[in-house]
Amino acid sequence: MPIGLPKTPRLEAVPGVKLGTANAGISKAERDDVALITCPASTAVAAVFTNNLFSAAPVTVAKQHLSKCSPQALFINSGNANAATGVRGIQDAESVCERVAQELGLEKSAVLPFSTGVIGSRLPLSSMLKAIPECMHALSVDNWLAAAKAMMTTDTVPKGVSRRFTLGNANITLTGIAKGSGMIRPQMATMLGFVAMDAAVTRPVLQLLLRRAVSKSFNRITIDGDTSTNDACVLLATGQAEMEAIQHESDQRFAELERNIEQLFVELAQSLVRDGEGATKFVTIEVVGAATDGDAQGLAFAVAHSPLVKTALFASDPNWGRILAVIGRAGLDRLEINKVDVYVNDVAFVVNGERADTYTEESGQAVMAPEEIHLKICLGSGNARGLVWTTDLSYDYVKINAEYRS
Amino acid sequence: MPIGLPKTPRLEAVPGVKLGTANAGISKAERDDVALITCPASTAVAAVFTNNLFSAAPVTVAKQHLSKCSPQALFINSGNANAATGVRGIQDAESVCERVAQELGLEKSAVLPFSTGVIGSRLPLSSMLKAIPECMHALSVDNWLAAAKAMMTTDTVPKGVSRRFTLGNANITLTGIAKGSGMIRPQMATMLGFVAMDAAVTRPVLQLLLRRAVSKSFNRITIDGDTSTNDACVLLATGQAEMEAIQHESDQRFAELERNIEQLFVELAQSLVRDGEGATKFVTIEVVGAATDGDAQGLAFAVAHSPLVKTALFASDPNWGRILAVIGRAGLDRLEINKVDVYVNDVAFVVNGERADTYTEESGQAVMAPEEIHLKICLGSGNARGLVWTTDLSYDYVKINAEYRS
């Protein structure tokens, strides 16, 4: 069960953005598994992709198309990642784009493909092509939830967030959806995330906003440390709100826009962790007092990836020795072990590298019991901070991933 | 159940080395949990220790004592790691050494302490001190198995190996014991390993032999990627065999000695993996054709640590896409994805970065079914090789580590 997430997010329409879904029979489940998202020609589009060198065919094709023209359609499928499929995988992704472009009267390169699911199988092309007209007929500004559902693989709930805010005199709607709950350690983006708003922003500014928001959100989450081959995150700005376009970072509306985008991205990224495979805990790992940013963020990820810390979290076991063991082996540039403090919420577990005098097993157990836990490591070696959101490691993580293809 | 290990290893006495065990009541189980190992004054001693910066008190004390004189006694306890225990932990370890030294009529620094178990609790000093005379009375050359049992924590079987060989005209006996099945990713040594022989070797040569053997054995295994705070490995050479001491690497007997030591260390290291927490598979991960040694060994470890690869191994699922995903995110210096081949035993899964034409799901499933699996990754980028032995990730790994302290 996801931790602190609604079963159904309430998602606001973004003027100009339409979505339609269909069942192409890719996954065994009887549900829609392809989604089409369209936006007007005025739309600025920014995107970031996985840095996994075994990137999937749709990632390669989407990058090529982005370099040619500004996209007006995104086509997404779940159930099959179209990764490690070689030249034929590229051709399949191009074929999908071509058919979507024909139906919509666009250039092929105005369509971006996205896939998520099992790696190493060819797309079921004919059934996917057949589903495209159905997606088109379903196009509606009110289909954000349906699109979020069509992207799901091992996700247990559709994930999405909306915000409304003003920029100057303009009322802006910002809505995003995302999927992913395993093979999650994004390094540029999440598995799949699509965010749109009606604000008017030039493409370079939009790309800056996306890059910064991703670095503070999707690039700070990890479920199992495995970076996907298909990570992609797209931010659309349709420009249909009544405002002059923001053309520069120095525009006084920029900060307000950035704050709202960042908050939505953080909420969306956290929602992936809250629905992480087998997750019973939502854990914030904060590192302060590190000598360098690399030490801070590196240690936060090392703790988040430790199977021993993760199983202790699953057991609600205040086994803080395992945290110290990770700190000691994390390869930090600077570590003075007698300056290390470890807190969970407001309970000091470790002070100056040893068990805190005030610590009791009872206080430790009590603070480890809730579903949401804040673990703070103070290194006392500098001023750098790191932050990661993660999950525990449960029987169900093993079960889900042992049975994924069966 | 351990994979391909006897319930009880057959261990040969090493002339001059005596062992005695007792129950000090440290762990809840009704079994011996402390062990004393003694050796004659003639013995050369080499040792390597964890590079975890949060090293345990016994590691600190053992290093100090080694710098002062040549050890004649090792005192080992299981159930409590005496780690993250600060100055008092150091004092406790010194107290144990002092009492052992008194009983044996030695200098305190001729005794080395070793501990393994839960991190962060003080040693139960008085009951440990009481158990020392009992260990002394039990001292016998035939107690290798008893000592291997006394070191166990989550180990399900005692682990040890003996070899006999000749060096010139001398008959040599080499016997080693080791413990450890979780928090295993040694980086200088294993959790605890003690190996002795009656060969005559000078200390510098012995240290060289130990360092090389460890690099090819314990430093190539990983169960969960977590390096222990207490790793230590000791090699004793009593010199009681009828031979002139080997004083230099150029001695013509050196190669034969090194070969035997390395083979015993590999077998001992593999035995830890075979009894790894929750292990149902013993997996050899071989990387060939890498551009650099760092790429080769780094990739082997990255694959070995991937929760997705490990759960697929548990399920005997030939989900090779997960292996490619790790290769793509492993941060290799050089990677040409269209040159990558992946084999399991003799079955080609991936050729030139795509599913092999000859691959079938049936052949993949058949080759993944056995308990012992050889996974080979060919990068085609150079000549460097890497090798790691590891386990899968099972329900029982989660169970053992969620319940470790309860």
- Summarised one tens digit per residue, pLDDT across range B347-394 is 999 999 999 999 999 999 999 999 999 999 999 999 999 999 999 999
Backbone angles phi, psi at A146, to 5 degrees: -60, -40
- Shared-domain flag, residues B244 and B294: no
A353 or B224, which is more confident: A353
Q: How confident is the model at residue B186 (pLDDT cuts 50, 70, 90)?
A: confident
- pLDDT score for A187: 65
Residues B230-244: what's their mean pLDDT? 93
Q: How many CB pairs lie under 8 A apart between chains A and B?
A: 207
- B2 assigned to some structural domain: no
Cβ distance of A398 and B182 shorter than 8 Å = no
Share of chain B above pLDDT 90, in %: 84
DSSP designation for A132: H
Disruptive mutation site among B308, B326, B334, B339 for chain A (greatest number of A CBs within 10 Å): B308
Place of tokens 């889900």: A400
- Is B236 in the same domain as B296? no
Residue B198 in any domain: the answer is: yes
Tell me if B384 sits within 8 A of B292, measured CB to CB. yes
CA distances from A266 to A214, A231, A352, A403 (A): 8, 16, 32, 30
The average pLDDT across B274-303 equals 95
Contact residues, chain B, for A321 at CB < 8 Å: 81, 83-84, 118-120, 229
- A308 vs B228: CB contact, 8 Å cut-off? no
Residue B321 lies in a domain: yes
* Residue B158, number of CB atoms within 10 A of its CB: 25
For residue A315, which residues of chain B lie inside 8 Å, CB to CB? Answer: 401-403, 406
Instruction: Say if CB B115 and CB B58 are below 8 A apart.
Output: yes
pLDDT at B16: 93
Q: CB B53 to CB A327 under 8 A? A: yes
Q: Does A91 touch chain B (CB under 8 A)?
A: no
- What range does the domain containing B354 cover? 282-402
Of B81, B307, B322, the CB nearest to A225: B307
Listed residues A274, A295, A312: the one ending a domain: A274
3-state class of A43 per DSSP? coil
* For residue A92, pLDDT beyond 70: yes
Is residue A189 predicted with pLDDT exceeding 80? Answer: no
B87 and B179 inside one domain: yes
Contact by Cβ (8 Å): A44, A236: yes
Instruction: Work out the minimum CA distance from B236 to partner chain A, whole angstroms.
Output: 28
Q: Looking at the predicted structure, is the pLDDT value of residue B238 above 80? A: yes
Q: Quickly list DSSP for B219-236.
A: GGB-SSS---SS-EEEEE
Closest Cα in chain A to B312: A402
Q: Is the dihedral of CA A311, A312, A313, A315 positive or negative?
A: positive
Active site residues of B: 190
Q: Are residues B293 and B229 in the same domain?
A: no
The model's confidence at residue A188, banded by pLDDT at 50, 70 and 90, is: low
Q: Is residue B162 part of a domain?
A: yes
Q: Establish if A334 touches chain B: CB-CB under 8 angstroms.
A: no
Give the separation between CA B69 and CA B110, rounded to whole angstroms. Answer: 6
Cβ of residue B49 closer than 8 Å to a chain A Cβ: no
Residues B290 and B259 placed together within one structural domain of the fold: no
Beta partners for B201? B246
Q: How many CB atoms lie within 10 A of CB B333?
A: 12
Check B354 against A86: CB less than 8 A apart.
yes
Give domain status of residue A9, yes or no.
no
A228 shares its domain with A342? no
pLDDT in tens, A236-273: 999 999 999 999 999 999 999 999 999 999 999 999 99
Phi first, then psi, for residue B397 (nearest 5°) are -60, -45
With contacts defined as CB-CB under 8 Å, which chain A residues touch B182? 308
CB B144 within 8 A of CB B254: no
Taking only the tens place, the pLDDT of each residue in A137-165 is 999 999 999 999 999 988 999 999 999 99
Overall average pLDDT of the A194-219 stretch: 94
The three-state secondary structure class of A121 is coil
Are residues A216 and A103 part of one domain? yes
The verdict on a CB contact (< 8 Å) between B85 and A398 is no
Domain membership flag for residue A7: no
Q: B7 in helix, strand or coil?
A: coil
Whether A373 is in a domain gets the answer yes
Residue A51: closest CA among chain B residues belongs to which residue? B329
Which residue out of A80, A121, A308 would a mutagenesis test of the B interface target, given it has the greatest number of B Cβ atoms within 10 Å?
Answer: A308
pLDDT band at B306 (very low <50, low <70, confident <90, very high): very high
Q: Are residues B82 and B186 located together in one domain of the fold? A: yes
- Do both B286 and B263 map to the same domain? no
CATH code, A301:
3.10.20.340
Residue B187: predicted pLDDT:
65
How far apart are alpha carbons B390 and B307 in whole angstroms? 12
> Which of A235, A258, A274 is where one domain is finished?
A274
Please work out, in degrees rounded to the nearest 5, the angle formed at the alpha carbon of residue A289 by the alpha carbons of A284 and A293.
75
Q: Where are the alpha helices (DSSP H) in A34-85?
A: 57-68
Catalytic residue among A190, A284, A390, A391: A190
Q: Is A122 left (phi over 0), alpha (psi -120 to 50) or beta?
A: beta
How would you list the strands of the sheet with B192-197, edge to edge?
Answer: B44-49, B232-237, B192-197, B170-179, B159-167
Same domain as B244, residue B311: no
A207: how many CB neighbours lie within 10 A of its CB?
17
B321·A81 Cβ contact <8 A: yes
Q: How many residues does chain B have?
A: 406
Q: What is the pLDDT of residue A27?
A: 79
Backbone φ, ψ for residue B53 (5° rounding): -70, -25
What pLDDT is attached to residue A287? 97
Q: How confident is the model at residue B199 (pLDDT cuts 50, 70, 90)?
A: very high
Q: Please name the amino acid found at residue B212.
A: R
| Contact map slice: B 276-295 vs A, CB within 8 A | none
Of the candidates B302, B204, B210, the one whose C-alpha atom is nearest the C-alpha of residue B245 is: B204
Q: Is B225 in Cβ contact with A328 (below 8 Å)?
A: no
What pLDDT is stored for residue B345 in this prediction?
95
* Residues in chain B within 8 Å Cβ distance of A119: 319-322, 324-325
Residue A110: CATH number of its domain:
3.60.70.12
- Express each pLDDT in B71-124 by its tens digit: 999 999 999 999 989 999 999 999 999 999 999 999 999 999 999 988 888 999
Query: Nearest C-alpha of chain B: how many angstroms from A337?
Result: 7
Q: How many structural domains does chain B have?
A: 2
pLDDT number for residue A406: 54
Kindly report the backbone phi and psi dihedral angles of residue A143, in degrees, each rounded to the nearest multiple of 5, phi listed first.
-100, 25
Considering only CB atoms, which chain A residues are within 8 Å of B52? 325, 328-329
Contact B159, B7 (CB under 8 A): no
Are A118 and B329 an interchain contact pair (Cβ–Cβ within 8 Å)? Answer: no
User: What distance in Å separates the CA atoms of residue A98 and residue B13, rounded to the nearest whole number?
Assistant: 76
User: Whose CA is closest to A330, among A292, A301, A289?
Assistant: A301
pLDDT given for residue A119 in this prediction:
87
Count of CB atoms situated within 10 Å of the CB of B255: 10
Closest Cα partner for A96 from A138, A125, A65, A127?
A125
Residues A318 and A203 in one domain: no
The verdict on residue A153 lying in a domain is yes
What is the complex's ipTM, to 2 decimals?
0.84
Q: Return the closest-CA partner of residue A71 out of A42, A110, A128, A107.
A: A110
Are B139 and B288 in the same domain?
no
What residues have CB less than 8 Å from B102, skipping those under 6 apart? none
pLDDT on residue B51:
83
Which of the listed residues A240, A258, A274 is the one where a domain comes to its end? A274
A307 contacts B226? CB cut-off 8 A:
yes
Does residue A244 contact residue A200 with C-beta atoms inside 8 Å?
A: yes
Asked whether the beta carbons of residue B84 and residue A353 sit closer than 8 angstroms, the reply is yes
Active site residue A190: yes
Q: Please give the average per-residue pLDDT across A296-322, as a whole number.
A: 94
A339 touches chain B (CB under 8 A): no
Of B94, B7, B11, the closest CA to residue B58 belongs to B94
Task: Verify whether the Cβ–Cβ distance A52 to B325 is below 8 Å.
Answer: yes
CA B154 to chain A, closest CA, distance in angstroms equals 13
